[in-house]
Chains A and B, each alone.
Chain A
C-alpha cells in the first residue's frame, strides 16, 4: 500500500518560535515579497504560526497553532481546479503542478485553511541571494499558486535512497524542513498508513483533533491541543 503521509503537531510543546517558518523559506525557495506587497497581504509563508489571545489583562492567555497545508483527503482545493494543477497524489498529498496552473485562484478561495499563496509577481532574489536557492525545488513564477508540499523533494529523495538500498523506509527517516528544525520537537511526520508509526500513534491519541475537522475535509495533520497542569496528577 502506498504511504499516506501525515503529521502530528503537539501544541503543548510548540512555543511559537517561528523556526519552522524560516526553515520552510530556506528549503522551498519561497521568495520574500517586500514591504509594499506584504502590506497587500501577499507575503508567502507555507507554514505560519497562528496566535490566539483569550481574556483580558491580567487574565490573558495566548495559544499558538502552526498552520500549514493539512493535505486533506477530501480537499476542497482539488475539484475546483480547471486545469488539474491541484490534484491528489497516490501518497495522499495535495499536489500542485506549477506548470499546469493558470492562476484562477479558485483553489485558494476554496481552501478553508488559507494556506495557498499566489505569486502576484515574479520572485526577485537580489544578487547574490539567488545562490541560497535549493536546486531540488523549482522556483515559481508570476501567476502561479504555491503551497506546502510536505517537502516532497525530501520524501522522494528518501524513497529513492531506500529503494536503491533495497530496504523499507524507517519511521522518522523523512523529516520535512519544519519538523527537522523544530526546537521543541513539537512536530512529527510519518506514514499514517503504518499503524506502528509515531505519527499514527499520536493520531490515535485521545488528545488528537483536526483543525476545522467539522468541515469534512479529512485533514492529515493532527493537532494535540495545549494541556494544562493539574496538581493532583503530579503530587
Chain B
C-alpha cells in the first residue's frame, strides 16, 4: 500500500559563511517516506544528514536556510506555510530525538514536566492525560518504575534511560513522523542495545514513519527498511537495507561498508613481554580517597605491542591512563617504566621519562591550542625535548608531516582550519615528535567518522611497524579492538575482568560473562543481528540492570 507521508523534492539548504559566501549543505536531494517505514540516513559528518532531518519539519539551523525545493508533509507543502502553522506541527505531528539526551533535558525540571510539555503547550491533551500517556510510554520503553520515574530529575536516571525518556517525549503527541538523530551514538554498546531494541519496538507498534540518522551502518541495519547514503550534501545511493549492505552499487558505499571491518593486523598468539616498557603493578587509585576507581590493577605493555584497554564508561580505563601519565598518583601500587619504578606524580618525573610517554586524546579539537599553528604544535616537543630550533626544527616538522601523510603547506594552518581526521593526525605527529616508547591512545577514533577512523588506525599501525612504539589503546569500541590489538584487557567498574591475547578473548566461548556480553553487544553488519542477540541474551541482558542506586 502506498501511503506517502513525507516527500522532499530537490531540497536545497544553504549556509551563509562569515565572508557572505553561501555554501550548499544539501544539494537537490529527493526523498520519499511512507507511513510505517523507517529510512536510514547515513553518511559522515558534514554529509548533511541532520540538516535533512530538520528540514523534514521545515526547520533550518541558525545560519542556514532552505533555499529551494519542496517539503511535502501529508499532502501540504511546508515551504508555503507560515511560521505559526509550522510551530503547531513541530513536536505534535513530527518529533525529533536528538543525540545527546543529557544535553537536551533541562536539569532543573522533573522528567514528567518536560515529557508532557509539548502536549500541554499545544493543547493536545490535558496535563492528567499527558502524564498518563507518558507513564504508558515509559512502560512500553521498559523503563523501571514507569509510575514514578517521571518524578525524577534527569541526573537521577542513567544515560540509556534518559535516551528512552526522550523517545517517550517525542511520542507523547503520537506523531506521524519521528526523526531520530544519532540516538544511540553517545551510549555504551550494552546500553545501545536496550535503546535500539525499545525504540524499534515502539516504532513498529505505532506504525510511525521514521528518519533514522546515523553514521554507523551496523546500527541502522537493525532498524531501517531502506537506507540512503549521503555525502557532501548529495545522495550517493538509496535502496533496501539488504541491498546496501550486501551489494552496494557505488564505490563510496562499498568503502563505508568495509571501513568497519578493516582488519589492520590479525595477530596470532602473543606471549607476555619479558621486558615490558610499562608495567602497572597492583595499582589502586581514587579521586577522593574514599571510592576506589581502580582496584589492584596489573597490566604490562611490551615494546612494539598494542594493548587494548576496553570497558564501558565508568570502568576506570581513562583513570588508568591518568595513573600512567602521572596526572593521578595511585593510592597503592606503582608503575614501572623500562624496568625502573616511575615517580608517581608528574612533577617528580624527569624530562626524559615525560618524553617517553606520550598521549593522544579523544577530541582533537580541544587537544590542540586553537591559537597555535600546526608548526608550533608539532615543533614545540622538538624544541622542548631536543633543543631543535630554526631550520633544523622546520625540517623535522616537515618530516613529521610527511609521516602522517600531510603536506608542508599545513604547517601554517591553525587547528580550526583542519578537518577532524587531519587534527587527529597532527596530534599523532605531536606525540611522535617526542620519539616516545609508548603512546597512550585514549578513544582516539571515537570522535571520527568510520572511514577517517580506519585511516587513523592504519596510520598508527604503520608508525608502530616503523618505530616499534607500544600503544596503550583505550577504547569502548570492541569492533576495532579485534582488528588492532595484540592483547586485550577487559575492565569493569575498576576491576580487570579478564586479560589475554586478543584472539583468545574474542574466540568463543568467552570465559567471563561480562566479556561475552560486551562482545555480543557490538553491532554487526547484518539485518538480523539485533533479533539474534535479543533471542540469545537471556540473563546476560537484563535490560534494567543499570538502575542507579
A and B associate in one complex: no
Binding site for A on B (CB under 8 A): none
